[in-house]
């Protein structure tokens, strides 16, 4: 019970940060309220829907649990109204986005392994869960996906999927491997941001 609640809470945090990043990208493209909401929702839920289709978890949980789309939609709408303020919180946003990346990497890889997907496939599905929403966001806003241009984002996710898959093979308790992998992804991403802190980012404030 408590664990399930925790998982839901972490999932919703991931949805909020990814929806915010999608909405901010859509605002930068001058989409209207509806467009911003759609891009936010798709960014937040897209990776999970791709994962559920891949592991034949049907229908995808994004369509069966109303808390997921409603959370994503409200977040995006709030960003639409507040975006000037959000841009000033850029450092916070990037940190939260890194946390979302770690979380979705873990959730996706564990779901794939639980569905009986072999190891290499589980790593792929974990990465798709974590970066799929951002790729769809960039396609909808007519950009080359940023994850293909900035190496360390997806590589951090890949490292996390490998940790989980190896731990799963050696029957490490899932809670420990999940925690370790999430922290690893989060840390790798933050360190890579730190090192490039002064480097020009080609995509504007909040598309990470």
Segment 30 to 59, residues that bind a second copy, using CB under 8 A: 31-35, 38-39, 49, 53-56, 58-59
- Distances from the Cα of 13 to the Cα of 44, 158, 204, angstroms: 10, 21, 23
**CA–CA separation, 12 and 14 (whole Å):** 5
Under the binding rule (CB under 8 A), the answer on residue 149 touching a second copy is yes
Torsion over CA: 91, 94, 100, 106 (sign): negative
Minimum distance, C-beta of residue 160 to a second copy, in the bound complex (Å): 15
Segment interacting with a second copy (CB under 8 A) among 4-12, 85-93, 134-142, 176-184 = 134-142
SS3 content of the chain, % helix, strand, coil (to 5): 80, 0, 20
Residue range at the interface with a second copy (CB under 8 A); choices 14-22, 82-90, 151-159, 174-182 = 151-159
CB of 53 to a second copy, least distance (A): 6
Q: Does 118 bind a second copy (CB under 8 A)?
A: yes
Q: Are 102 and 186 in contact (CB under 8 A)?
A: yes
In whole angstroms, the minimum distance from the beta carbon of 44 to a second copy comes to: 13
DSSP SS3 for 6: helix
Confirm if 74 and 44 have CB atoms less than 8 A apart: no
Least distance from a second copy to the Cβ atom of residue 208, Å: 15
Name the site residues for a second copy (rule: CB under 8 A): 26, 29, 31-35, 38-39, 49, 53-56, 58-60, 62-66, 69-70, 112, 115, 117-122, 124-125, 135, 139-145, 147-151, 154-155
């Amino acid at each position: 019970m408590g664990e399930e609640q925790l998982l839901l809470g972490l999932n919703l945090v991931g949805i909020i940060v990814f929806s915010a990043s999608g909405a901010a990208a859509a605002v930068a493209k001058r989409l209207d309220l509806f467009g911003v909401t759609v891009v936010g929702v798709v960014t937040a839920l897209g990776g999970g829907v791709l994962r559920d289709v891949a592991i034949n978890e049907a229908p995808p949980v994004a369509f069966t649990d109303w808390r997921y789309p409603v959370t994503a939609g409200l977040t995006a709408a709030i960003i639409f109204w507040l975006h000037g303020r959000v841009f000033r919180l850029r450092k916070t946003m990037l940190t939260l986005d890194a946390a979302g990346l770690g979380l979705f990497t873990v959730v996706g890889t564990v779901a794939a392994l639980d569905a009986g997907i072999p190891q290499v496939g589980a790593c792929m599905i974990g990465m798709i869960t974590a970066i799929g929403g951002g790729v769809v966001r960039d396609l909808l806003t007519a950009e080359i996906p940023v994850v293909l241009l900035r190496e360390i984002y997806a590589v951090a996710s890949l490292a996390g999927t490998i940790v989980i898959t190896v731990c799963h093979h050696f029957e490490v308790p899932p809670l420990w491997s999940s925690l370790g992998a999430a922290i690893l992804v989060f840390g790798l991403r933050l360190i890579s941001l730190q090192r490039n802190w002064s480097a020009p980012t080609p995509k504007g404030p909040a598309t990470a």
